[in-house]
Amino acid sequence: MSQIRVNNLTFYYEGSFDNIFDNTSFSIDTNWKLGFIGRNGKGKTTFLNLLLGKYEYIGSIQSSVEFEYFPYGIPREYLERPAAEFAEELKPGWEEWRIFCELNQLGLEGDVMYRPFGTLSFGERTKILLALLFSGENHFLLIDEPTNHLDQEARETVKEYLARKKGFILVSHDRDFLDGCIDHVLVLNRQTIEVQAGNFSSWQENKQRKDAFAQKENEKHRKEISKLKAASKQARQWADKNEGMKIGFNPSKEHDRFIGTRPYIGAKTKKMQSRVKQMENRIQQEIHEKEGLLKDIETPVSLKLNPLRHEKNTCIIASHYGLGYPDGEKLLFEDLSFSVSQGERIFIQGANGCGKSSLLKAILQTQRLQRQQAPACKDTAQKRLPWLQSSTSPFAGEADKPGSQEEGIHFLEQGELKLASGLIISYINQDTSFLQGSVKDFCWKQGLEESVFCAILRQLDMERVQFEKNMENYSEGQKKKVLIAASLLTPAHLYLWDEPLNYIDLFSRMQIEELLLAYKPTMLIVDHDVRFQQQIATRVIQLSKDSRKIAGRRSAANI
Cβ neighbours of 44 (radius 10 Å): 24
Measured CA to CA, the distance from residue 507 to residue 484 in angstroms comes to: 14
Measured CA to CA, the distance from residue 470 to residue 455 in angstroms comes to: 18
Which fold, 3-207?
Answer: Rossmann fold (3.40.50)
Measured CA to CA, the distance from residue 524 to residue 541 in angstroms comes to: 10
Identity at 425, one-letter amino acid code: I
Q: Where along the chain do its domains lie?
A: 3-207, 210-294, 314-542
Measured between its terminal Cα atoms, the distance across the chain in Å is 65
Asked if 129 contacts 154 with a C-beta cutoff of 8 angstroms, the reply is: no
pLDDT tens-digit readout, 432-476: 888 999 999 999 988 888 999 999 998 888 888 888 889 988 888
Q: Which of 149, 36, 169 is CA-nearest to residue 529? A: 149
Q: Which of 45, 30, 221 is CA-nearest to residue 138? A: 30
Measured CA to CA, the distance from residue 49 to residue 476 in angstroms comes to: 16
pTM, full prediction: 0.71
Quick one: CA torsion of 207, 208, 213, 218, rounded to 10 degrees? 90
CATH of domain 314-542: 3.40.50.300
- Residue 214 has a pLDDT of 75
- Residue 404 has a pLDDT of 37
- Residue 409 has a pLDDT of 67
- Residue 502 has a pLDDT of 84
Phi, psi of 26 (to 5 degrees): -170, 170
User: 37 forms bridges with which residues in the sheet?
Assistant: 187
Measured CA to CA, the distance from residue 123 to residue 152 in angstroms comes to: 10
- Report angle CA 322, 308, 357 to the nearest 5 degrees: 30
Longest dimension (CA), the chain: 112
Measured CA to CA, the distance from residue 128 to residue 135 in angstroms comes to: 11
pLDDT < 50 stretches in the chain: 250, 377-406, 547-559
Quick one: CA torsion of 325, 326, 328, 332, rounded to 10 degrees? 30
Examine domains 3-207 and 314-542 and report if their fold is the same.
yes
Contact residues for 334 (Cβ-Cβ < 8 A; gap 6+): 320, 321, 322, 323, 414, 415, 545, 547
Helices (H), 296-389: 356-373, 375-384
Alpha carbon 392 to its chain's center: 25
Rg (CA), the chain: 30
- Residue 554 has a pLDDT of 37
Measured CA to CA, the distance from residue 244 to residue 237 in angstroms comes to: 11
The DSSP secondary-structure symbol of 465 reads G
Contact residues for 311 (Cβ-Cβ < 8 A; gap 6+): none
